[in-house]
Structure 1
């Protein structure tokens, strides 16, 4: 059973789908990025450019794959269609894990920006309350239906995009080259600095798959998913690149490397006074709320698609007002548990380990999806792909796979180790669900595979038919 939502029920047009991509890419991390990469020098801007090319290639691949399979689930659907149930499950499990763990991390990060707005720090109980509000308000918007999800995403994307773009563009008029520092810092080679800064920036574009993941809710997904993925990625790249360049040029390098609020420092340097912190803190809170709104929807889409195929519990396959409610609630509850643990357990390092898991988990669906596109092209399943576009699509797929592989390498040994352990923990869930699948569903799947094999034989050349026989 697959997503059968009709065109009339698809509520995301191109602007909303683009806002979903851009809003999920630009979370709270952008507000610290310039200070994070400043120690490596301005070579980090080159790293951003290289990563942007890779992210756009990945966005184009998701657009091509959605032309083949225009339904909810994105990377899960592609992996399952190419490599079977187990690969599909690993993609869905990995993606689902990443979403609710990262939601908890976003909520905790948002508390710090709320402190800036309120003018002071609060008690543990008040901090926990704020973090839970940041989690559950977007969850309630999701439970209200996709129209509310789209509305919140549009408003939050505009509200955070305007101040960030303001700093990015106006900062160029206050640009002072003497603030930049060296091309490379610390005596490192340019290639070493490029790699080191890229490792920090690699996850800046996680979220590029958001439109593909919600393809079942996008109008005319064969056209709009690819467009939204590319436009959202380019929009995020403009904010990233121009914003980082402006901060580099307005804040002295020795101050920037120690800054805990680089965009606020940039506003204060441009206009004087201390109001920059309040402006940027407001943009950060809005950005985090928007990201939580979008990622809450993503946390429900992967298990929804997998549940339709019997690979997740059936409750995840039920929708209300276009939103899989069980997925939204499950993600919100699990993120709540992690947030409570963060504030009350007193056990150092637990939350950091979970965040490491997300850095690896985000890459598994990308690798499987891009590998699926390479498989479809090489295997000859070129339906809906013009022959003249075949070479270009293969280059894009290989580029997307290379970018995804770079993401895995950039995650670091600790992230890969923790992530693989958690990924393999899902195997027992797959075994449980596979064992409980109805016999008729298993027979249907086997029949489908047999039919596909028969079609392949029928399409083969006569000599090939004899060899297969």
Structure 2
């Protein structure tokens, strides 16, 4: 789950407000500002963008996070991949209808109006900074491999905050520094993944595999709970749709890139998790805070392999935090330009929405401290589940928008009018998103709902200011 900063900077600027009356004739979507011709990228680059965004720091903790559920989590991986590809196809179809930068925010606002667009942008923004908190917590586990800090809560919290604020400082310095960090971290990210994912299969020992149903909930209950955690690994499937305005021929390439990138990431994830399951004893894995390092130590003996993996993992997570810090600032950027977020989020300095960076990192820091009471691994699990809830909200609104246009009879603008196929795909993606919500658990849904509904006050304030402003006045 790592972002390319340059690919998300283009703001969404519709030419007018979203249609508030759902029964009026469907207006043609207003084109956003076209990016410079040289900045557009084709299918290969768009696919790399999706795959690079999906594969980020979360993979380094995921095997330990799902180990308590048993090997049913591998089945959850397969089901989740199918659901993620269905979502990718829906995003591709929506991009054919409205090929503008902004993704879920654009689709929800066009179909259902300003409030739905705001909820989508607000929820996606929450997802980005909560994900940063989760990645920082995961980084602490690998830091402990290099500099043992034991279970000293003060040191753990301090380290987690440092992992969040150092990338923030790089972002505030400008996009040139962000790009340099991204380049190095992206290259180094695949080294530990390839070493463990491929090499681990040669050291695979079936005796290390845990039970099929590790938590006694039954295979369906265990698979649902594991899938809710695993969704964290697939955040970024919407990357091509978010950057549609910069993709060459987005009507064709957004959908293709989304499917190809998601499929490629799924292969890496599944092989990596399977290799860790087969090289680290189950009882050790369920309490591990650095599962890939443990896998390398089990494969080659000693601790040198685990140390190398820990260094590479920390570089990868720092890069993921670097990119997602900028994305957390850019997620509300388009909404602010449309007047749905406070205007401060829409202002830039050295190409970076600085206010969004500072606010997002500050909120992530508060959440990190609040959740560390359950320990580093417990904090990671809870934060991941919160992101599951907040990420699913934009997915639900996007799939609902797709179904809305199908019901409206706008199939001539959605994949050539294949009504039955598109309806089945849209309903499947919607049901899949609901299933993920069911697996998040009460505690995560509780926190997520509080975060989501708190945004209503922001919308009320912004809507009131727009109505009070004289017609034609500048925002």
The reply to whether TM is greater than 0.5 is yes
Pair 1:370 & 2:399 matched = yes
Is 2:162 the counterpart of 1:162? no
- 1:182-216 residue CA offsets vs partner (Å, 9 max, x unmatched): 44446664334433433433433222223322334
Tell me if 1:111 matches 2:117: no
State the aligned residue count: 441
* 1:382 is aligned to 2:436: no
How far apart, CA to CA, are the structure 1 residues paired with 2:358 and 2:221?
44
Is 1:273 the counterpart of 2:273? The answer is no
The answer to whether the 8 Å contact 2:192/2:309 transfers is: yes
| CA distance, structure 1, for counterparts of residue 242 and residue 89 of structure 2 | 14
Which deviates the most, 41-50 or 247-256?
A: 247-256
User: Paired residue for 1:253, among 276, 279, 282?
Assistant: 282
Write out per-residue CA displacement over residues 328-347 of structure 1, whole angstroms, 9 at most, x where no aligned residue: 33323433455577789x9x
Judge which range, 393-402 or 117-126, deviates more. Answer: 117-126
Query: Does residue 46 in structure 1 map to residue 71 in structure 2?
Result: no
Out of 103, 115, 125, the position equivalent to 1:96 is: 125
| Structure 2 contact 240–257 (Cα < 8 Å) conserved | yes
- Residue aligning to 1:226: 255
Mapped partners of 1:277, 1:155: distance in 2: 20
Please tell me whether the aligned partners of residues 411 and 418 of structure 2 are also in contact (alpha carbons under 8 angstroms): no
How do 1:198-347 residues align onto structure 2 when only pairs under 5 Å count? 198-319=227-348, 323-338=352-367
Kindly indicate whether the alpha-carbon contact (under 8 Å) linking 2:141 and 2:290 is maintained by their aligned counterparts in 1: no
User: For 1:18 and 1:191, how far apart are their aligned partners in 2?
Assistant: 32
Q: C-alpha displacement at 1:55, in angstroms?
A: 0.8
* Aligned-partner Cα distance in 2 for 1:326–1:13: 32
Q: Distance in 1 between matches of 2:359 and 2:42?
A: 27
1:211–1:325 CA distance, 2 compared to 1 (3 A): farther
**1:398 aligns to 2:427 (yes or no):** yes
Consecutive unaligned residues in structure 2, runs of 5 or more: 1-12, 15-31
From 85, 98, 101, the equivalent of 1:69 is: 98
- Tell me if the contact between 1:265 and 1:277 (Cα under 8 Å) persists in the aligned partners: yes
**Cα distance in structure 2, aligned partners of 1:432 and 1:194:** 41
Distance in 2 (CA, whole Å) between partners of 1:186 and 1:337 is 31
Separation in 2, partners of 1:123, 1:183: 34
Of the two, which has the highest radius of gyration? 1
Is 1:194 the counterpart of 2:223 in the alignment?
Answer: yes
3-state DSSP of counterpart to 1:36: helix
After superposing the two structures, state which structure 1 stretch, 263-272 or 330-339, moved more.
330-339
Name the CA distance, whole Å, in 1 between partners of 2:215 and 2:135: 32
How high is the TM-score relative to the length of structure 2? 0.80
CA RMSD across the alignment: 3.5
Q: Deviations over 1:259-297 (max 9, x none)?
A: 443322221222222123212212321232222123223
